[in-house]
Chains A and B, each alone.
Chain A
């Protein structure tokens, strides 16, 4: 046993308890911390009994929302808009794509004239749902929102 100078009954005994302490240390600390954080908010007493009341609340909330957001109004607005879009033929547009060579040339010229022209042409030539920076988006919030969710 000369090669095992550390081996003795005492050392083994101590190492055993040190090991046990090491094993349970993190679990014990966490358990104490959870107890100290207080009990989990209990489900209110009588939660189950008030189920009917809650269902009525939910129904009231849902109908109030439905009143505010009327799907009929949206459908009414959509139909003529879609017809108008369908009738418009694809044509060359005066809108300039930012970053294109034409845009670069025009930005040397005074910018005021370009802005007026852009406002006069609404989103008729937009095919894909646009992101919020197009000014025309504000005029038709219902149309745009139906096409793409607004990321916040």
Chain B
């Protein structure tokens, strides 16, 4: 069946090669445009942090105001990089899982151009001062249909692909990917109809917070998990440690995640049950998060002492992302409690948590997928293991820096702000020291991705290493296995 990991017949190999060939140009298009947007996003992250710490810099140029740079950075990161990387991975994974070739490659590439056009419009509109200060939905309302159409033209094909798939049980990755495919239009459509100039000012703002959380739990995380559930068993050469647990994880995510989001406004002007329900759902989700983490860990570790993640770049990125997933789940659950949110709500920590979700969890797991997928669709291997190592370590340092400094900085800033009889400016001063951490983190992340861009460009032009063996992080020999 589809889980025969070690016995690949010549027919299987030919079939896989045909699938990979059919997916080559659409998937590469999404990965390369995503990478370009990542470069833009990380630089903007650096500059927005800089403007926060040194507001007097270029202060008479409105386009360099923090209030413009930060939303533009978020748009580039979320819609430019993260969504396109996810779409590329989705297409290849579904093609492989359903054992069917990608038939609408040209349409998908056109759709990708439409998506890029929409993201560029969104960025320019917000940068020029037509934004709306609504996190992740800043762009003027008329741009949403452009993005929606681009998305539709890309992912609609996944449904017939699923329908026409090979006989047998549905694998959990397919469920995650089909889930993500339908969840995004549901939440994006709902959010764009409710958020903005509307009949209920407060619920509109609440729907914005709901959208942010749902985008993370209903699009970014399902794609990352779908990729991980496919790639980890393949590389480890073992089936998933507990497959029923994986399905339980999927359905608990499907049932719980829609309730999350409003806990961003705990204590806010909502009927008290709304943020409370969101907080509870986030806490329950922790069970699914931990179960998934344990599942991955047990699968990778298996019975042997070999630390596979030291060799395989894919596994290393994916396992790190999975670890960040557990950290994110714990921090999100903690922020649902008043004790925690009394201090961390509205502090610098908010940014740390959002960046953890988009970069620490999703992006790291997608890098893992990209390092696996691109050699297979281009027919050549990554040229330099050294650059992959740099990419991994500097990204790790970057995400660690931003999460830690924003956690500690948020604690310091809000702790000072909570001294209600002291002047507010003290909290700003205390916080700005930690904003430096944000600047350094984005610098590290930008640097980490330089090697990635270079290698991806080489692979795109087919200039990778011609080799039978995969590029590993360390040379693998029988003696070094222990």
Residues of A within 8 A of B (CB): 3-8, 11-16, 18-20, 22-27, 30-31, 34, 37, 40-41
Contact = CB atoms under 8 A, between A and B. Distances in A.
Interface in B153-169: 156-160, 162-167
Given A20-B156, A26-B186, A40-B199, A4 B193 contact: no
B35 to A, nearest CB: 27
A20 to B, nearest CB: 6
Given A4-B99, A4-B164, A15 B159 contact: yes
B245 interface: no
B182 interface: yes
B418 interface: no
Contacts of A20: 152, 156
**Most chain B beta-carbon contacts within 10 A, residue among A3, A7, A11, A24:** A7
Interface of A is mostly: helix
A3 B164 contact: no
Contacts of B189: 24, 26-27, 30
Interface in B171-199: 182, 185-186, 189-190, 193-194, 198-199
A6 B163 contact: yes
A15 B178 CA distance: 13
Contacts of B152: 20, 23
Contacts, number: 72
B163 A27 contact: no
Nearest to B189: A27
Interface in B140-159: 152, 156-159
Chain B interface, DSSP helix/strand/loop, else mixed:
helix
A50 B274 CA distance: 38
A26 B190 contact: yes
B192 to A, nearest CB: 8
Contacts of A37: 199
Given A4-B99, A7-B100, A23 B185 contact: yes
A16 B167 contact: no
B167 A5 contact: yes
Interface in B190-239: 190, 193-194, 198-199
B182 A22 contact: yes
Contact of B165 (A6, A13, A41): A6
Contact of A23 (B156, B166, B167, B190): B156
A23 B163 contact: no
Given A6-B163, A7-B164, A27 B193 contact: yes
Given A3-B99, A8-B164, A23-B186, 19 more contacts: A3-B166, A4-B164, A6-B163, A7-B100, A15-B160, A15-B163, A15-B164, A16-B157, A18-B159, A19-B156, A19-B159, A19-B182, A20-B152, A23-B156, A26-B186, A26-B190, A27-B185, A27-B186, A27-B190
A16 B193 contact: no
6 contacts: A7-B165, A8-B164, A11-B164, A18-B159, A23-B185, A40-B199
